[in-house]
């Protein structure tokens, strides 16, 4: 299927483009009234994730209503632990909760390396979405980074400190590595299956990169990200390591096309340290609480900071659920108009 809007792919290839492509992390979700309406008719988040026709529908909503340059498949990073044998619940207003957690070797022995087919509902959702998009925009598949998934599996939920997960790195590093390797192998299988199902681009979210000191980040996260990058060869891959504390030089060694930046990272530094990479990001999500003038000014500043090549406009993290769709639309139209003017 030919893509009619291939701006994202041309940008990833480093080509000169007529404007900067734009999409938002967490664009498929609670910011859209159309999403809330559908979600309120269902038993919960998981029903939406696990029903391919509905997942496809909410994946396409931001393309219809926000006119973004890419769709991201509606799913969650926590489908991997579930496929490995550790089911989660999504608790209203609280977030993810695992019924059991991983603490000992015998807990790990009960898990298995997941195959792509273990998450068939998302693969089906990708196939349906590709068909329904009919080439309008590329489709992004995704997974969590092994370290971030490990953090949820050991902690059992979100946490301010993730001290249980971090404690395991000091007390039982070999056990931690065993689990991280199983997550990595499962993730590679799943990403390959997403590509086979039709994903055009992949993104790996290391949302909890920022809680590890640099030496531990290299040992317990980067090591596994390298394996993932090596395994994904024919599909463009973005690594988004939020708050990461290692140098841009080290991050640049990853064999991926694109690096995602959060809003505290300086585009100029990353441009200098990783001239071959495409950069994605990085507007502070809170800018979207500002007036249209503030959104315009900050978005323009961001576009100037990244320059007109090898940039995918996005926020520095997922859009917050109480942001108004109007603010998001302002951001998107400023990117489209001003990035064209800058060329």
Ligand X SMILES: Cc1c2[nH]c(c1CCC(=O)O)Cc1[nH]c(c(CCC(=O)O)c1C)Cc1[nH]c(c(CCC(=O)O)c1C)Cc1[nH]c(c(C)c1CCC(=O)O)C2
Distance CA 73, CA 104 (A): 34
Question: Does the annotation list 76 as a binding residue?
Answer: yes
- Nearer to ligand X (CB atom), residue 85 or residue 95: 95
Known catalytic residue: 217? no
Distance CA 8, CA 332 (A): 14
H helical segments located in the chain = 7-12, 33-40, 45-50, 52-66, 79-84, 105-109, 120-133, 146-155, 163-171, 173-197, 214-217, 223-231, 248-252, 267-273, 292-306, 325-341
- Residue 190 binds ligand X, judged by CB under 6 A: no
- Nearer to ligand X (CB atom), residue 16 or residue 93: 93
Region of 70-78, 180-188, 244-252, 274-282 interacting with ligand X (CB under 6 A): 70-78
Least distance to ligand X, CB of residue 44, Å: 7
User: How far is residue 266 from each of residues 49, 209, 236, 279, measured CA to CA in Å?
Assistant: 35, 17, 23, 11
Instruction: Name the catalytic one among 10, 39, 136, 300.
Output: 39
Question: How many C-beta neighbours within 10 Å does residue 34 have?
Answer: 14
Known catalytic residue: 13? no
Least distance to ligand X, CB of residue 292, Å: 23
Question: How many C-beta neighbours within 10 Å does residue 27 have?
Answer: 27
Least distance to ligand X, CB of residue 205, Å: 4
Least distance to ligand X, CB of residue 334, Å: 21
Instruction: Name the catalytic one among 30, 164, 178, 300.
Output: 30
32 with 325: CB under 8 angstroms?
A: yes
Q: Which of residues 36-55 bind ligand X (CB under 6 A)?
A: 39, 45
Question: Does the annotation list 26 as a binding residue?
Answer: yes
- Residue 72 binds ligand X, judged by CB under 6 A: yes
Query: Binding residues for ligand X, how many (CB under 6 A)?
Result: 21
Least distance to ligand X, CB of residue 333, Å: 20
- Residue 77 binds ligand X, judged by CB under 6 A: yes
φ/ψ bin of 46: left (φ > 0), alpha (ψ from -120 to 50), beta (otherwise): alpha
Question: Does the annotation list 30 as a binding residue?
Answer: yes
191 with 126: CB under 8 angstroms?
A: no
Least distance to ligand X, CB of residue 118, Å: 18
Region of 22-30, 192-200, 257-265, 290-298 interacting with ligand X (CB under 6 A): 22-30
Distance CA 85, CA 187 (A): 14
Known catalytic residue: 262? no
Question: Does the annotation list 234 as a binding residue?
Answer: no
Region of 76-84, 127-135, 292-300, 333-341 interacting with ligand X (CB under 6 A): 76-84
Q: Which of residues 85-104 bind ligand X (CB under 6 A)?
A: 90, 95-96
User: How far is residue 64 from each of residues 59, 67, 71, 224, 245, measured CA to CA in Å?
Assistant: 10, 6, 10, 36, 37
Residue of 300, 136, 146 lying closest to 223 (CA atoms): 146
Distance CA 60, CA 129 (A): 7
- Residue 65 binds ligand X, judged by CB under 6 A: no
- Residue 125 binds ligand X, judged by CB under 6 A: no
- Residue 142 binds ligand X, judged by CB under 6 A: yes
Q: CB-based contacts of 313: which residues, under 8 Å, 6+ apart?
A: 20, 21, 22, 280, 281, 283, 299, 302, 303, 306, 335, 339
Known catalytic residue: 26? yes
- Residue 318 binds ligand X, judged by CB under 6 A: yes
- List the binding residues for substrate: 26-30, 76, 152, 207, 317
Binding site for ligand X (CB under 6 A): 25-30, 39, 45, 72, 74, 76-78, 90, 95-96, 142, 158, 205, 207, 318
Active site residues: 26, 30, 39, 76, 152
């Amino acid at each position: 299927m030919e893509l009619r809007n291939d701006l994202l792919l041309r940008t990833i290839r480093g080509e000169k483009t007529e404007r900067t492509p734009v999409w938002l992390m967490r664009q498929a979700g609670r910011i859209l009234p159309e999403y809330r309406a559908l979600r309120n008719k269902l038993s919960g988040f998981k029903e939406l994730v696990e029903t391919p026709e509905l997942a496809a529908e909410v994946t396409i909503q931001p393309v219809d209503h926000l006119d973004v340059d890419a769709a991201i498949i509606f799913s969650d990073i926590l489908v991997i632990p579930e496929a490995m044998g550790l089911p989660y619940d999504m608790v209203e207003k609280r977030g993810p909760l695992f019924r059991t957690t991983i603490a000992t070797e015998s807990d790990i022995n009960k898990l298995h390396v997941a195959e792509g087919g273990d998450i068939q509902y998302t693969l089906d959702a990708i196939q349906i979405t590709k068909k329904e998009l009919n080439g309008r925009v590329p489709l992004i598949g995704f997974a969590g980074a092994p370290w971030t998934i490990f953090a949820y599996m050991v902690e059992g939920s979100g946490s301010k400190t993730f001290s249980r997960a971090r404690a395991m790195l000091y007390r039982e590093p070999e056990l931690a590595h065993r689990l991280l390797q199983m997550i990595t192998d499962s993730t590679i299988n799943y990403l390959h299956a997403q590509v086979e199902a039709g994903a055009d681009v992949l993104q790996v979210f290391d949302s909890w990169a920022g809680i590890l000191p640099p030496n531990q980040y290299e040992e317990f996260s980067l090591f596994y990200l390298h394996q993932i990058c090596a395994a994904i060869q024919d599909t463009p891959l973005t690594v988004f390591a939020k708050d990461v504390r290692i140098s841009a030089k080290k991050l640049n060694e990853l064999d991926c096309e694109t690096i995602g930046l959060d809003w505290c990272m300086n585009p100029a530094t990353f441009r200098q340290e990783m001239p071959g990479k495409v950069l994605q990001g990085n507007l502070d999500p809170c800018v979207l609480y500002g007036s249209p003038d503030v959104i315009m000014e900050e978005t323009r500043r961001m576009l100037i900071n990244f320059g007109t090549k090898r940039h995918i406009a996005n926020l520095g993290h997922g859009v917050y659920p109480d942001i108004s769709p109007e603010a998001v639309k302002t951001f998107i139209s400023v990117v489209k108009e001003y990035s064209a003017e800058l060329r």
